[in-house]
Structure 1
Amino acid sequence: MTDQRARIEWRDGVPIAQAFDDPYYSLDNGVAETQHVFLAGNDLPARFGGNFQIAELGFGTGLNLLVTWAAWDKAGQPGTLSFTSFEAFPMAADDMAAALGHFAELAPYAKALLAAWKPQSGAIQLPNGPMLEVITGDARETLPAWDKQANAWFLDGFSPAKNPELWEPTLLAAVGTHTKRGGTAATYSAAGAVRQALSGAGFEVTRVAGFGRKRHMTRARMPDAK
């Protein structure tokens, strides 16, 4: 797949991906959604410390990164944070700025991200923040070639019904392969096929309360030993 820019339309101030007809974040509260699904879903920030690696399927607006960065700052744990995201359709800087402009509490982090945003440039050390790498292209090709393992995964592709490629069992198996022992994954999706694929990838899978209008979401943990 060749790299392409995301095509965006706006509905009540929320960016919608035209390719999938799905919003980039909760219509209720995008920050609270990330905190509930991806931070709490991965037991963060309690697990921060050391050289902590987060990986993500779907960078989108960068909101998950900013919420994580703010939580990491507040936690004040020693160590480093790396954030790697696999994104097929990187968002143009002006669209990203418009989307992130809704979250005043994250303005300093958004400003730093936007100043550095060049999805083709490889890893970027954000000022006093995480090492960010957005790997562009089809995750089914780029993730298996990744040479690292994550402590925590944010599985944030668009809805499995609209973007099934990011929820295929073979891709989630690659997520499992690229997860450290004791590592975790979380997603807003509670679809049975997603939970089954994560289980098949070696995770212990739990369905828990979702955010907002979603009744359930999924948490997963890689056992400490085989």
Structure 2
Amino acid sequence: MADHDPENERRTETVLDWHEGDMPYSRAFDDHFYCRSDGRLECGHVFLAGNGLPQRWQHPGPFRIGELGFGTGLNFCETWRQWRESAPAGASLSFTSFERFPMARGDIARALSHWPEIERERALLTEEWPDAPEGRVEIDLEPGVRLTVVIGAALESLGREKTPFDAWYLDGFAPSRNPDMWSAELMAEVFRLTVPGGRFGTYAAAGFVRRNLAGAGFAVERRPGFAGKREMLCGEKPAA
């Protein structure tokens, strides 16, 4: 468990507003944490389907997911729910998220309470979430499921990683509000940390995001976005 850090706690708690009861809004980035219509269904459409999941984890052994932007933990909880329902015997899930400003336990619990479908996952996550997360938070939530949240600037954090991922969820705040999370340098690190044949999915479809992903080496595909959004992006690292 991380040591208590009042400054970190103050910083992460004061940037939040709440809209419509339980929807967190970042004042720092002037953006909601997820789609206002249904963030859980958006996760399924953009991140799971965009990465060919759960079909791609239908084999024994480890499956590794990387994420930019842990936020409320919604993407992790929905992925974990689908993993429990569909993963074969002998499979294991390693989910690593890179987050600069981690949310407090109470805020995560409040945000995720909107979805009864992930109540089990919400309860287990918030029970284990540290009071003042910092550094590298590693939680074994059940046999074969490990969550790692790396706290700090994404580019620096990814630069220290060695083991590539099978799938990526690119879920920073909107590119217009947080362009550093979609930079060419960061997308190059994502590409480096992707296995040959690995995939990414993102709700973002801005031209510079698409160009940075393609410039890093990904084969990029446009698909219809969620809930009337015109486009999303997904793609694959070509097999060696």
The TM-score with structure 1 as length reference comes to 0.95
Cα deviation, 1:107-165, whole Å, max 9, x if unaligned, reads: 01100000111233632111245211000000011111112110000000000000111
Residues 13-162 of structure 1 correspond to what in structure 2 (within 5 A)? 13=21, 14-48=23-57, 49=59, 50-78=61-89, 79-118=91-130, 119-120=133-134, 122-128=137-143, 130-162=145-177
Q: Distance in 2 between matches of 1:38 and 1:122?
A: 22
Matched residue, 1:5: 12
Q: Distance in 2 between matches of 1:62 and 1:198?
A: 24
Bigger shift: residues 151-160 or 190-199: 190-199
Aligned residues of 1:37 and 1:211 also touching (Cα < 8 A) = yes
Bigger shift: residues 111-120 or 57-66: 111-120
Gaps spanning 5+ residues in structure 2: where? 1-6
- Give the letter for the 2:98 counterpart: F
- Give the letter for the 2:12 counterpart: R
Aligned residues of 1:144 and 1:174 also touching (Cα < 8 A) = yes
Aligned residues of 1:69 and 1:129 also touching (Cα < 8 A) = no
Cα deviation, 1:81-122, whole Å, max 9, x if unaligned, reads: 000000000001111110001011100110000011123363
Runs of 4+, deviation exceeding 3 Å: none
Q: Distance in 2 between matches of 1:66 and 1:116?
A: 13
- Give the letter for the 1:221 counterpart: E
Q: Distance in 1 between matches of 2:226 and 2:129?
A: 29
Aligned-residue identity in percent: 45
- Give the letter for the 1:166 counterpart: M
SS at match of 1:126: strand
Gaps spanning 5+ residues in structure 1: where? none
Q: Distance in 2 between matches of 1:194 and 1:129?
A: 34
Aligned residues of 1:179 and 1:222 also touching (Cα < 8 A) = yes
RMSD: 1.4
Report the Cα offset of residue 214 of structure 1: 1.1
